Chain A
């Protein structure tokens, strides 16, 4: 199998980038997309060129490191999958693939396909937690939580913080990411005491980081590798309004 890759190459955040074309040959359908990049990188190294820089770590779809758009789609063509979970059987022999880093104001490019996503960490630091210090906890079964409620909280908590939602949004909005955390904690009894201030602080931090407003296009949900629902955004907006009205 053979593919032509147009890959974004950029030396540093303050230099200009450009697309470079590479022919990737001798591939097999069982190879993962990132394994193909490994092969290309080994070849570039042997040719005395600099390999393509890209973030990746667990390669099983949970750490949220890998972050690239393939033919304009964050994480590529498959539903509910990260880039590392894309296998070449998703493409046709001879395809041309354009590979780019996340494009968003709040995620500046560091090098090639690597972007700076620390803005997400700062949003969590603003309030995405329950303030309970080690040793303060009551018995785990002291407070029953219904199965349905717990499952819903898990659905929201499953976000891996990859940033595909931001990259997919025409406004570069982080609403899905922030709403997932606000909802995860807001659905549980443990999250109630800080519910109002949490949503206010996190939304303020999100705005300060330069993320845009929700575009109401649901592109975020469409590309999310963990299928986080846009319903959480509606829930967050409700929490935010109630918090502003001090009813929460």
Chain B
């Protein structure tokens, strides 16, 4: 299969402008004849739905939560990047582009990333106009802070709740269009299948989570804005409901899945405390602006942090990466933390933790300033651990946080299934093998506000409007498949709750496809996962019926999909015989333990094709061509 990314011709910095000037348009009077389905109401979904509705398209928006305002973008803490250069510190579109490509360890598309950097500045303007209360200086101008992987301050923020404020901005724009009748909003609806008719995405099948009713919805284009698949690890910073079902069902209907092994493990999360644990809480990366990571120099140290003198502490990030220090990118910081813990120098009851210490910052700035910057994070830490981080250092450990992989899309953000667009974390496009902090919010809003309104119009202009009714063979077949699957899940009535399978899958993936991977470990995981899947379908117990609110049934369907996706993550990691960004294969490392890329073999994007149950997926390749930037070894030393 040849993958055409449809990158416009011309010099890199002019591609997007040229594309916009030449894009095919739908006239205002015709726009209302087209219907677009948007699944998910996070930053990408809400901004896309609102922007398309503003243009005049009819939009149907779906979310599984009780309100579109609860999508997990809401939990993003630290900030959003934009190349405004308001700080006069040397930032530019070009530099944001370079930082993002380098941060992603040269595994993303230049043209997509450059466009992202270009539109980043418009995002801030748009959000301010919506009333997003970003942090400001006393003179009334917008404030910035720095984030990992950058030597400029380009991150805009709203205390520790930037995601919340940006999402509420998009949610309010969405709400305005609902009131105007341009958007039909269907909360508590979960997408369970994609309908592909004559090779084009034509609609979806949903389940109403309160009544259990399955419904077919037809449209002229389908947008998946359903987030990442990090809950495959079970313990993660994701919301409990975050799932891969929409993209996985689309994958089974023909959409290619790219780089599934590129999963971000975030360095600063609160460590695991027990078996029953249901999620891990992130402590924003912004804390690394003022917090210093350290462990004791001696193995098996038993003294408390306060009792360990300065000379016996190892500020390992500052030691290993002097030029970026505590602001080294996430993959690097996570691996460094893992390494010092593997050496037996981890802290806390489990030994799986490192200190994040604010005493130096409190001494330098005063407790009041530190409180002003991070009060809600310190409060959250206190709630969870019962400890006061103003007095003793936080304990942190890496946890699954984001997935760079996702459905394959071209420059138009369209998958290989015409009419199926994929936005935000659900696609693979912009972050390569590692995402920089404060870039997820940027990408979600770039896709939804500024990219998709152009590209979807280009597609629709070539389609006859009123794509039809949800009838016909393809809709019938998809409906029957969904009904049969729901019945099957409810019919097993085995002995084990869904949560048990989710935990076991999570542990397998964390051990073998987590921060560090080996050929042997991945082969082992690929060997045991089919057995776990089989056990699930023979022994899972989903209580209740399908005709009312049944949260066990919802989770069971999602876990069934994770059980399949988990295996693909491992296969992708096995086939990528190099180390890059988050993907650290122990066989491929430099003498000092850093990633050793193999550009000659793997300067590419993998794109997996589903071939049917029980058949191995086929791996396709999109080669990456670097025209502007030199492939270089990433160094943060």
Q: Once bound together, how far apart are the Cα atoms of A192 and B402, in whole Å?
A: 38
Q: Known contacts A46-B541, A136-B129; decide if A39 and B276 are in contact (CB<8 Å).
A: yes
Are A150 and B383 closer than 8 Å at their CB atoms? no
Are A57 and B141 closer than 8 Å at their CB atoms? no
Interface string of A107-141 (1 = CB under 8 A from B): 00011001011101100111011111111111111
Are A58 and B75 closer than 8 Å at their CB atoms? yes
Stretch binding the partner chain, chosen from A28-36, A92-100, A211-219, A233-241:
A28-36
Q: Known contacts A45-B497, A85-B383, A140-B84; decide if A185 and B131 are in contact (CB<8 Å).
A: yes
Candidates B66, B74, B176; contact of A55 at CB < 8 Å: B66
**Smallest beta-carbon distance A6→chain B, Å:** 21
Judge whether B51 is part of the interface by a CB distance below 8 angstroms: yes
**Smallest beta-carbon distance B228→chain A, Å:** 14
Judge whether B72 is part of the interface by a CB distance below 8 angstroms: yes
Are B130 and A130 closer than 8 Å at their CB atoms? yes
Are A137 and B129 closer than 8 Å at their CB atoms? yes
Judge whether B323 is part of the interface by a CB distance below 8 angstroms: no
Are B140 and A147 closer than 8 Å at their CB atoms? yes
**Smallest beta-carbon distance A15→chain B, Å:** 10
Interface residues of B in 9-67 (CB under 8 A from A): 47, 50-51, 54, 65-67
Of listed B69, B136, B159, B500, residue having the most chain A CB within 10 A = B136
Q: Which residue in chain B gives the minimum CB-CB distance to A27?
A: B276
Q: Once bound together, how far apart are the Cα atoms of A157 and B169, in whole Å?
A: 10
Are B543 and A150 closer than 8 Å at their CB atoms? no
Q: Which residue in chain B gives the minimum CB-CB distance to A144?
A: B140
Judge whether B124 is part of the interface by a CB distance below 8 angstroms: yes
Q: Once bound together, how far apart are the Cα atoms of A21 and B383, in whole Å?
A: 28
**Smallest beta-carbon distance A149→chain B, Å:** 8
Judge whether A42 is part of the interface by a CB distance below 8 angstroms: yes
* Interface size, A (range): 35 or more
Are A58 and B140 closer than 8 Å at their CB atoms? no
Q: Once bound together, how far apart are the Cα atoms of A168 and B229, in whole Å?
A: 37
Judge whether A191 is part of the interface by a CB distance below 8 angstroms: yes
Contacts of A63 in B (CB 8 A): 65, 70, 72, 74-75, 239
Candidates A28, A32, A150; contact of B135 at CB < 8 Å: A150
Judge whether B306 is part of the interface by a CB distance below 8 angstroms: no
Candidates B65, B163, B171; contact of A65 at CB < 8 Å: B65
Q: Known contacts A59-B279, A130-B172; decide if A51 and B379 are in contact (CB<8 Å).
A: no
Interface string of A142-158 (1 = CB under 8 A from B): 01111100110110011
Judge whether A80 is part of the interface by a CB distance below 8 angstroms: yes
Judge whether B179 is part of the interface by a CB distance below 8 angstroms: yes
Contacts of A131 in B (CB 8 A): 176
Stretch binding the partner chain, chosen from B356-364, B544-552, B595-603, B606-614:
B544-552
**Smallest beta-carbon distance B168→chain A, Å:** 7
Q: Which residue in chain B gives the minimum CB-CB distance to A159?
A: B168
* Interface size, B (range): 35 or more
Q: Known contacts A81-B383, A114-B549; decide if A129 and B133 are in contact (CB<8 Å).
A: no
Interface residues of B in 422-479 (CB under 8 A from A): 449-450, 453
Are B551 and A118 closer than 8 Å at their CB atoms? no
Are B175 and A60 closer than 8 Å at their CB atoms? no
Interface residues of B in 138-188 (CB under 8 A from A): 138-142, 158-159, 161, 163-165, 168, 171-173, 175-176, 178-179, 185, 187
Contacts of B274 in A (CB 8 A): 28, 30-31
**Smallest beta-carbon distance B265→chain A, Å:** 18
Interface residues of A in 39-58 (CB under 8 A from B): 39, 41-42, 44-46, 48-51, 53, 55-58
Q: Once bound together, how far apart are the Cα atoms of A45 and B75, in whole Å?
A: 30
**Beyond A141-B86, A158-B161: 8 further Cβ-contacts under 8 Å?**
A32-B278, A49-B543, A85-B383, A121-B69, A137-B125, A140-B125, A161-B69, A190-B129
B residues adjacent to A (C-beta < 8 A): 47, 50-51, 54, 65-70, 72, 74-75, 84, 86, 122, 124-131, 133-142, 158-159, 161, 163-165, 168, 171-173, 175-176, 178-179, 185, 187, 210, 239-241, 273-274, 276-279, 281-282, 379-380, 383-384, 386, 449-450, 453, 495, 497, 499-500, 541, 543-544, 548-549, 551-552
A residues adjacent to B (C-beta < 8 A): 11-12, 28, 30-32, 34-35, 38-39, 41-42, 44-46, 48-51, 53, 55-65, 78, 80-81, 85, 87, 89, 110-111, 114, 116-118, 120-121, 124-126, 128-141, 143-147, 150-151, 153-154, 157-158, 160-161, 184-185, 188, 190-191
